[in-house]
Amino acid sequence: MKLGVVGLGRMGSNMRERLREKGHDVVGYDPNPDVSDVRSLEALVEALPAPRAVWVMVPAGAPTRQVIEQLSRLLAPGDVVVDGGNSRFTDDKVNAALLAEHDVRYVDCGVSGGVWGRQNGYALMAGGHEDDIARLLPIFDALRPEGDRAYSFVHAGGIGAGHYAKMVHNGIEYGLMQAYAEGYELLAAEESIADVPAVLRAWSQGTVVRSWLLDLLVQALSEDPGLGSISGYTEDSGEGRWTVEEAIAHAVPAPVISAALFARFASRQDDSPAMKAVSALRRQFGGHAVRSAEPVEVA
Amino acid sequence: MKLGVVGLGRMGSNMRERLREKGHDVVGYDPNPDVSDVRSLEALVEALPAPRAVWVMVPAGAPTRQVIEQLSRLLAPGDVVVDGGNSRFTDDKVNAALLAEHDVRYVDCGVSGGVWGRQNGYALMAGGHEDDIARLLPIFDALRPEGDRAYSFVHAGGIGAGHYAKMVHNGIEYGLMQAYAEGYELLAAEESIADVPAVLRAWSQGTVVRSWLLDLLVQALSEDPGLGSISGYTEDSGEGRWTVEEAIAHAVPAPVISAALFARFASRQDDSPAMKAVSALRRQFGGHAVRSAEPVEVA
Amino acid sequence: MKLGVVGLGRMGSNMRERLREKGHDVVGYDPNPDVSDVRSLEALVEALPAPRAVWVMVPAGAPTRQVIEQLSRLLAPGDVVVDGGNSRFTDDKVNAALLAEHDVRYVDCGVSGGVWGRQNGYALMAGGHEDDIARLLPIFDALRPEGDRAYSFVHAGGIGAGHYAKMVHNGIEYGLMQAYAEGYELLAAEESIADVPAVLRAWSQGTVVRSWLLDLLVQALSEDPGLGSISGYTEDSGEGRWTVEEAIAHAVPAPVISAALFARFASRQDDSPAMKAVSALRRQFGGHAVRSAEPVEVA
Amino acid sequence: MKLGVVGLGRMGSNMRERLREKGHDVVGYDPNPDVSDVRSLEALVEALPAPRAVWVMVPAGAPTRQVIEQLSRLLAPGDVVVDGGNSRFTDDKVNAALLAEHDVRYVDCGVSGGVWGRQNGYALMAGGHEDDIARLLPIFDALRPEGDRAYSFVHAGGIGAGHYAKMVHNGIEYGLMQAYAEGYELLAAEESIADVPAVLRAWSQGTVVRSWLLDLLVQALSEDPGLGSISGYTEDSGEGRWTVEEAIAHAVPAPVISAALFARFASRQDDSPAMKAVSALRRQFGGHAVRSAEPVEVA
């Protein structure tokens, strides 16, 4: 089928290529003329036959909202917009309402797979009305890995459910990464372990902890066995925060996901104000900070 | 090669079968005559040609120690014993010393794969002297999945390093399981998610969180979509505790693995003494426990 | 000075009494005629000389908003409203704007002290314009404990800063309570400790951990040494959640406060969905749940 | 009564002074002749009338063990030794056994109060036989704050119980300090809070969170409002680790105390190996580390 794609960064352009390889007719628009197929959003809309389908793949938040607003004015009743970015699920109801004023349909779709998706296929979590999902199935089927649809695609629920599922996916991802990372650090701290990368590589097959993330860590360690080239400064991209906030909203204990999130926060601090306060307290009550050679300090 | 196996529970008997299928000559001993090939440990030792190799696969702690002590008296200089159970790495030095008094060699080997290992192969983490490892390679190769040895076997270091690596593997496993579990609970708590098992199944391919554990959770949910038949009461089997203790000994932060461990402890409490103390405090300072309909309670 | 107080639940009526004892002229209104001094909010406003000061002490959220809206219509330019409830700081800007339409001033004031405040005095954290704070100082001074004002009162900043400070105060409170509770549970689990309540009582003087919360726990244990009459089911009243959400918003690691919050969530679950998932996984990969007496289970 | 004190560092010499002020006859020994009353441990023993009482106040571990061993050879049957240092409770049984070979009695005593104890008195948690405790009561009463003995002294149980109680006391202390520290950091991160030290000072009276630790933090902030002179690098002195290990041994969830401990570990890392692993993973799966300005990155 014919599809418009708005946003041709790494993800958008990779998806355009995968869709074309699978036989779909994709028209892409990006402000960067080097990658764009058309000169404007208006041109993209004109290039599509009604009822149109437009997949938006731009950064979450204001950029996505801006594109949705522009599309609401350009599209016609019966057209459908898919937000495939990492939007917060709370944005979806607003986006849908904006488009609904013009009788334009809306589907949210969480996309997982990163740069590997172009080759392996992307996992897709969609939210919206069943009719709209049905209409987009050829696109979903082309984007996802081949094989049984149920293993890489889900119609998770109404509008917002796709991004909700993707948010939880990413929250879990935070926890998984931190679990491997703690194990890695412990192995690296234990002198009896002769070759830490070799231990992790040996977990690749047959173990309970085998996973794609483990494969990636093995790959990273094969490129840089001591990770000497990599800083521990670690960004977080929003979904981890939202997951913990949703856990709080639902009174769901989330000690692991929140610990993983806080570890990222801490990784970005040169010196922790909290730990300065702890140090200050220790100095106050016991003179611990003095580090003198006195026989005993009891507090 | 010819190998003695002591302990023919599920793991031991599965490993015996896999080794036989791969062409090895295995003599197994178990106190249970229904599964044992010989009548006694003495008979097992007699059935093996020198230098002998005996794989011990009995519960960690006292049972393993008892078998090691018996073998130390029965075996001859140059024989080798492998402890393939879930022993704590600190046991290995003691076991090795017990055997060394009789010039018997010792290798510790962490084994991962559970009931699936018989078919898929087991991942193996071995500790000990290089010569002993080399001698046992045919056994290791038969037990592990086919393919590149480095992806399912590691000589992790000296005596104890194999069990150390396995301990960390299991500590990571605790964290991974809890991460998925928190995500599952959050999805189940969110009313907009129409079909929680379907969401997890859709993560099976193409996602960042795909893993064998996820596959197992998908399988469990396909058998019992609401997990209604399963209690949240969750045992822990030692390695999680040891991992946190090692993290403490090495001053390695382990917030995720420890949170996963503590969640298991809490799952086994009918009522938490700690939370009774918190409730008691709330009652003291603000009358919170009274749950009255008064206009405002401020503390 | 003359002050109107809206909301005469336990907190409001206690504060009315303390203010009267300190010589202030308080007119209180409550829907409950048994405790109200006047028949209506209108009557309360009429009873006050301009420029009026009205202290609102009703539950946070909708009830407080409703009273603010009513007051905005009843009060005159130059009057001032204080929200002394446990409102979220984000409500304050809205409340202030509602009143500002009528040129009515607004001050937010976090109040700590609970049922003990009537006798001991309340600690006060105020937010708003300096002029409004200055005008209310006689009230603040009567409510707080005697002595140096700086030890029980702070003008924390602009509108919302008072409730922000109170929110953080309560978040800290969660962490403190959980720390004592964990220690209590550990002492109770250790058979060598002969008398747990006696140990905690002995910490009342001279120790690093002495505090008012410890005094309350000692008191609770003197009333019920094993806390047998108290359930571990523990509510949370909002500020703990908001504190963690603010920590997330500011990228501040808050592992202790969040752990304390999650422990409360968990205390309210009969069976944890997350731990059911962990149990289900264990059953899948290793048959752990079977609890058989087999020689060894390795996963 | 007459008491020997071994170890005259800050704690030991402060305790000597307090005991002398209370009328006791104290003979102190320290390797440092500037502070020692006698030239040798032998001289100290000779200076005491039988049955002797010797209070050991030297660093936990090897130094304390060494003094116990020396005393076991110098003392006579019926003499009593008190270990007042921060020894692990597991050391106490060994110390007691060493002395019991010579019919010398042993009492362990956790001491809290730090440098403030000389003036305010120390809280004491003692373990051992009732007769030995009774004999030492005049010393305990002189060391502790005046007033009801139950509020600053406890005979916690048999040998080791005193240090066990002190260990838990310190574990709680870790949690309390971290709770205040997280709150402090959040206040410092929030621009609407005009004066963070003033907010904490205002909690000194009337609040739920008032405590001696809060008083110390207020004092520290009055000396250095931004804690600019203090590093966040925070040592831990053993009891926090032991508390978490005991929590694990008793299957007691300790998320707050362990989080506080791990925060100290993390504070001492220039760059976290775990977070390097997380960063490496992010780079692998999504090119997150590249920080490019591309329209969207989805993982």
pLDDT per position as a tens digit, C224-237: 999 999 999 999 98
Give the helix ranges, DSSP H, for chain A.
Answer: 10-21, 41-47, 62-74, 89-100, 117-120, 130-143, 161-189, 196-202, 212-223, 239-249, 255-267, 273-286
DSSP letters, C31-97, are: SSTTT-SSSSHHHHHHHSPSSPEEEE-S-TTHHHHHHHHHHHHH--TT-EEEE-S---HHHHHHHHH
Q: Tell me which of C234, C258, C281, C288 to substitute to probe the interface with A (most A C-beta atoms closer than 10 Å).
A: C258
Chains near D (3 or more Cβ pairs under 8 Å): A, B, C
What is the percent of chain B where pLDDT is above 90? 92
Hey, is the C-beta of C138 within 8 angstroms of any chain D C-beta?
Answer: no
Q: Tell me whether the omega of the peptide bond preceding residue B51 falls within 30 degrees of 0, making it cis.
A: yes
pLDDT in the model for residue C83 = 98
Average pLDDT, chain C: 94
Q: How far is CA A295 from CA C51, D7, D33, D35, in A?
A: 66, 6, 13, 12
Alpha helix locations (H) across D53-112?
62-74, 89-100
Checking if the pLDDT of A296 tops 60, the result is no
Q: Which of A69, A166, A190, A191 is catalytic?
A: A166
Q: Which of B42, B166, B191, B276 is catalytic?
A: B166
What is the location of CATH 3.40.50.720 in chain C?
2-158
Please judge whether C111 and B287 are an interchain contact, meaning their C-beta atoms are less than 8 angstroms apart. Answer: no
CB B254 to CB D262 under 8 A? yes
User: Model confidence over D12-25: pLDDT tens digits?
Assistant: 999 999 999 999 99
The verdict on B238 touching A (C-beta cutoff 8 Å) is no
Q: Which of B10, B84, B284 sits opposite C219 (nearest CB)?
A: B284
Residue B99 CA, distance from chain mean position: 25
Residue B289 confidence class, pLDDT cut points 50, 70, 90: very low
Three-state secondary structure of A172-239: HHHHHHHHHHHHHHHHHHCCCCCCHHHHHHHCCCCCCCCEHHHHHHHHHHHHCCCCCCCCCCCCCCCH
pLDDT of res. D44? 98
Predicted confidence band at C286 (pLDDT cuts at 50, 70, 90)? low
Contact A178, B175 (CB under 8 A): yes
For C152-186, what is each residue's pLDDT tens digit?
Answer: 999 999 999 999 999 999 999 999 999 999 999 99
What is the maximum span of chain D, computed from C-alpha positions, in angstroms?
85
What does the pLDDT look like over B198-234, one tens digit per residue?
999 999 999 999 999 999 999 999 999 999 999 999 9
Q: What is the ipTM of this complex?
A: 0.94
Report the pLDDT value the prediction gives residue A287, as an integer from 0 to 100: 55
Percent of chain C's residues with pLDDT above 90: 92
Of A21, A173, A223, A246, catalytic: A173
Question: Residue D293: pLDDT above 80?
Answer: no
Q: Is the pLDDT of residue B290 over 80?
A: no
Whether residue D203 lies within 8 A of chain C, CB to CB, comes out as: yes
The neighbouring-strand residues paired with B25 are: B2
Burial class (CB in 10 A: 0-12, 13-18, 19+), A229: exposed
Mean per-residue pLDDT, D237-243:
95
pLDDT of residue A185: 98
Residue B295 — pLDDT band, cuts 50, 70, 90? very low
Q: Which of C203, C14, C264, C234 is nearest to B283 (CA)?
A: C234
In which band, very low, low, confident or very high, does the pLDDT at C295 lie, cut at 50, 70 and 90? very low
| Cβ atoms of A74 and A52 closer than 8 Å | no
**Distance in Å from the first CA to the final CA of chain A:** 73
Q: Is A168 exposed, middle or buried (0-12, 13-18, 19+ CB in 10 A)?
A: buried
How close are the terminal C-alpha atoms of chain C, in Å?
A: 73
CB neighbours of residue A148 within 10 Å: 11
Determine whether the interchain pair A258/C253 forms a contact, defined as Cβ–Cβ distance below 8 Å.
Answer: no
Which of A115, A12, A264 lies closest to D299, judged by CA?
A115
Q: What are phi and psi of A146, to 5 degrees?
A: -65, 160
Lay out the sheet containing B2-6: strands in order across.
B25-29, B2-6, B53-56, B80-83, B105-112, B123-127, B153-157
pLDDT digits (tens, 9 = 90+) for B44-99: 999 999 999 999 999 999 999 999 999 999 999 999 999 999 999 999 999 999 99
Q: Catalytic site residue D166? A: yes
CB of D256 within 8 Å of any CB in chain C?
Answer: yes
Candidates D294, B219, B237; CA nearest to A63 is D294
Q: Among candidates B124, B125, B135, which has minimal Cα distance to B1?
A: B135
* Section C270-282 average pLDDT: 95
Alpha-carbon span A37 to A47, nearest angstrom? 10
Is the four-CA dihedral A31, A32, A33, A36 of positive or negative sign?
negative
DSSP assignment string, D165-182: HHHHHHHHHHHHHHHHHH
- How close D1 comes to chain A (CA, Å)? 24
Interior angle at CA B242, CA B96 and CA B238, nearest 5: 90
Q: pLDDT at position A116, please?
A: 86
Is the per-residue pLDDT at C297 higher than 70?
no
The DSSP 8-state label assigned to residue A3 in this structure reads E
Residue in A12, A221, A289 nearest the CB of D296:
A12
Which amino acid is present at D28?
Answer: G
Nearest by CB to D246, from C122, C153, C186: name it. C186
A164 touches chain B (CB under 8 A): yes
Sign of CA dihedral A85, A89, A90, A92: positive
Give the per-residue pLDDT at A115.
84
Q: What confidence score (pLDDT) does residue B287 get?
A: 55
- pLDDT beyond 70 at B291: no
> What would the two tokens of residue B262 be?
């503590």
What residue type is assigned to position B80 of the chain? V
Mean pLDDT, range D140-151, rounded to an integer = 97
Confidence of residue C114 (pLDDT cuts 50, 70, 90): confident
Can you point out the beta strands (E) in D34-180? 53-56, 80-83, 105-112, 123-127, 153-157
For residues A98, A104, A108 and A113, what is the CA-based torsion angle, rounded to 10 degrees? -120
* Tokens matching residue A127: 């939210």
The verdict on a CB contact (< 8 Å) between B208 and A157 is: no
- A298 pLDDT higher than 70: no
CB-based contact (8 Å) between C77 and chain B? Answer: no
Given a contact cutoff of 8 angstroms between Cβ atoms, the answer to whether C257 and D182 are in contact is: yes
Is C166 labeled as catalytic in the residue annotation? Answer: yes
Catalytic residue among B17, B22, B93, B173: B173
Mean pLDDT of chain A: 94
DSSP letter (8 states) at residue D268: T
Q: Nearest residue of A to residue C240 by CA position?
A: A248
The confidence score (pLDDT) of residue B65 equals 98
- Yes or no: domain C2-158 corresponds to CATH 3.40.50.720: yes
String of b and e for C70-107 (b: at least 16 CB within 10 Å)?
ebbebbeeebbbbbbbbbbbebbeebbebbeeeebbbb
Element (H, E) at C27: strand C25-29
Minimal CA–CA distance to C187: which of C206, C164, C163, C203?
C203
Q: What is the mean pLDDT of chain B?
A: 94
Residue C287: what pLDDT?
55
How confident is residue B298, by pLDDT bands cut at 50, 70 and 90?
very low
What is the Cα–Cα distance from D52 to C284, expressed in whole angstroms? 64
pLDDT of residue D295: 37
* Buried residues in C210-228 as b, exposed as e (16+ CB within 10 A): bbbbbbbbbebbeeeeebe
pLDDT at res. C294: 34
What single DSSP character describes residue C211?
Answer: B
Q: What is the pLDDT of residues A65-119, one digit of tens each?
A: 999 999 999 999 999 999 999 999 999 999 999 999 999 999 999 999 888 899 9
Percent of chain C with pLDDT over 70: 95
- Both structure tokens of B140: 């290791």
Per-residue pLDDT tens over the stretch B238-249: 999 999 999 999
- All residues at 6 or more sequence positions from B171 whose CB lies less than 8 Å from its CB, including other chains: A182, A183, A186, B239, B240, B242, B243, B244, B254, B257
| pTM across the whole model | 0.95
CB proximity list for D4: less than 8 A, separation 6 or greater: D26, D27, D28, D29, D44, D45, D47, D48, D52, D53, D54, D55
What CATH class has C167-267?
Answer: mainly alpha
Count of residues in chain A: 299
pLDDT digits (tens, 9 = 90+) for A118-153: 999 999 999 999 999 999 999 999 999 999 999 999
Pinpoint the residues of chain B covered by CATH 1.10.1040.10. 167-267
**B/D interface, count of CB pairs below 8 Å:** 53
Mean pLDDT of D131-143: 98
Model confidence pLDDT, tens digit, residues D28-43: 999 999 999 999 999 9
User: Looking at the predicted structure, is the pLDDT value of residue B237 above 70?
Assistant: yes
Nearest-CA distance B202 → chain C (Å): 17
- At residue A45, does pLDDT exceed 50? yes
